[in-house]
Amino acid sequence: MTAVAQLLAGGPRPGDPIRVLSGSGQLGYGIPEKAFRAGLERKPHVIGCDMGSIDSGPYYLGAGAFATSPLIAKRDLRLVLNGSLSIGVPLIIGTAGTSGAAPHLEKTLALVREIAREDNLSFRMAVIPADIPRDLLRGLVRAGRTRALGRIDELTAATVDGAAHIVGQMGTEAIIRALQMEPDVIITGRACDTAIFAAVPAMLGYDLGAAMHMAKIIECTSLCCVPGGRDAMLGTLDGDSFELESMNPIRAATPLSVAAHSLYEQSDPLTVYEPEGMLHVGTARFDAIDERRTRVSGAVWHPASQFTVKVEGAQWLGERAILCAASCDPRVIANTGAIEAAVRESVDDIIPPTGSDSYELYFHIYGKQGVDLFNRPVTGAAAEEIFFLVECIAPTAELAKSVTSVTKQYLLHHGFSGRLSTGGNVAFPFTPPELGGGPAYRFSIYHVMECDSLESLFPVSIEQVG
Amino acid sequence: MKLMDLAKVVRSKNAGPLHVTLDLMFADSQTYELVRQSPALAQSSIAELYCVDPSTVNVVPYPAALAIKIAIDRPVIAGTPGDCDVFGAQQHKPLLEIEI
């Protein structure tokens, strides 16, 4: 009998407490083993792990690469696979391989099969890809059924065709469909973080407001505690409220720390949008059970009349090369604006950025608000030292490297007005100071699409492993 | 008093690649109320501080956590060349010095 078959036959029902163990908020960075094992001791009914994030930028979705080390990802997968199989409960891993597109899912499945072989494990696995077919998305664009989720261009057929990979965030619906096929392990492409942890309670008929709110909090494991951390977190759902407890005794889930977690990486702390509806947490109550456990109630689930799916896509822009240089000369520091303009002009003369040779050049000048996203006017005293990180994106790695090489020489020797240090304007930390950075991508799709059938979008397949 | 001397947490982080959000958290409800009602935290004041259009700024008080959330449209989508803070984790500095 598989883990899900056992759960369906003799597992908890609404009215009984159901325990959901969150093993990882980003599987692949090293799951703390002691707390995870303490979580297994508490006999959870399901174990969930989130393996993805969009925060690390468009490269991983575009290139089909893990943000984490495959070595550590394998170590974490081994821990949670052996752990869940040893106590016979379902394991759900969401957003395989950082971004959850086909290559990420394939690489994750290859690691899982490798672990099964090496550890002599045998289990039934459900796999749910999340790649969005381009013709479907183009059709929705034409029908006006997509919209931007903020300051990004509206979708066109060209944007859809230009993306290297396109994924949609599946919700509980897809994972419940997989659960109904009674596997031991579910591995998904891109998924809503909440769906991973809410699917089993939702399938069993638990209160959706409480189930989704609990999922939203435990998806980051013990980050909702003081002190916050990456240790496994246990959520126990009972009726229309739930209880939170970190599996590391030094971490306390207090009413304030749990409430504060609602702010994390959310643009609106009061509402959470899912494919199947919206969770309103503005009415939630947080009550201390003791010093390190909190009970939460009062969130309300509003089912949607129209399914919507968040879609993400990344487009290749070119190849990146960078140049590293620094200065402590007060005249250089005072004249960076004029120096940058003159160097750009010289580089343009030598390598005209036109036609198929067009490229982009960016000067990040640290010590002069180099980290200010909003380009506010520079204020305050001049820095003692500044760092030039010059970035070029060009159609080929060779051209990007050529542009940074020419930039290097003109930056070093540009004769600006008032210059004293005619030996060179900058110091290089090593040689060569220009480095290849690999392919560069941008998020070209971060939109929501209306969707009539979730079932055809996120198909489930079953595989017997081992 | 400066905000950095009143708040327990002043942090920034992306909420998806299109928004950067700023969280202010306070140790007690008096301080929270004091800051929440300050004109320095008005949408227009935050817009001026960050040199952005007020329509791109949203200020949401969250009393359950004694916190105030500010969301601002990112001028550059996270990770697009020309970005300088992919996670948006270092955009809180202008808030530190504001007078309440």
CB–CB of A443 and B79 under 8 A? yes
Strand partners, A276: none
Could you tell me the CA-to-CA distances from A83 to A91, A165, B26 in Å, in that order?
A: 9, 33, 40
- The answer to whether the beta carbons of residues A67 and A56 sit under 8 Å apart is yes
CB–CB of A58 and B80 under 8 A? yes
CB–CB of A374 and B51 under 8 A? yes
| ipTM surpasses 0.85 | yes
- The answer to whether the beta carbons of residues A95 and A51 sit under 8 Å apart is yes
Please name the member of B19, B58, B79 whose beta carbon is closest to the beta carbon of A442.
Answer: B79
CB–CB of B67 and A370 under 8 A? no
Q: Any residues with CB less than 8 A from the CB of A106 and at least 6 apart, and which?
A: none
pLDDT score recorded for residue A287: 96
Please name the member of A265, A268, A370 whose beta carbon is closest to the beta carbon of B14.
Answer: A265
CB–CB of B62 and A263 under 8 A? yes
> Which residues of chain A are at the B interface, by a Cβ-Cβ cutoff of 8 Å?
54-59, 149-152, 256, 259-260, 262-270, 284, 286, 317, 320, 360, 362, 364, 370-377, 391, 393, 440-443, 446
Residue B89 forms contact with A (CB below 8 Å) = no
Residues of A in Cβ contact (< 8 Å) with B77: 151-152, 442-443, 446
pLDDT score recorded for residue A285: 94
Q: Which residues of chain B have pLDDT under 50?
A: none
pLDDT category, A167, cuts 50, 70, 90? very high
Residues of B in Cβ contact (< 8 Å) with A151: 18, 56, 73-75, 77
Average pLDDT (A3-19) is 95
Average pLDDT (A325-346) is 97
pLDDT score recorded for residue A269: 85
pLDDT category, A453, cuts 50, 70, 90? confident
Task: Report whether pLDDT(A82) > 90.
Answer: yes
CB–CB of A151 and B73 under 8 A? yes
Residues of B in Cβ contact (< 8 Å) with A149: 16, 18
Residues of A in Cβ contact (< 8 Å) with B17: 54, 57-58, 443, 446
Please report the residues numbered 15 through 74 in chain B whose beta carbons come closer than 8 angstroms to any beta carbon of chain A: 15-21, 23, 25, 50-52, 56, 58, 60, 62, 64-67, 69, 71-74
Task: Report whether pLDDT(A356) > 90.
Answer: no
- DSSP 8-state secondary structure symbol assigned to residue A55: T
**Neighbour count for residue B47 (Cβ, 10 Å):** 17
- The answer to whether the beta carbons of residues B12 and B74 sit under 8 Å apart is no
Average pLDDT (A351-375) is 94
Residues of B in Cβ contact (< 8 Å) with A370: 84
How many Å apart are CA B3 and CA B27, to the nearest integer?
13
**The pairing of beta strand A91-98 with beta strand A46-52:** parallel
Residues of A in Cβ contact (< 8 Å) with B81: 317, 320, 360, 362, 391, 393, 440, 442
User: What's the angle, vertex CA A419, arms to CA A392 and CA A410, rounded to 5?
Assistant: 25
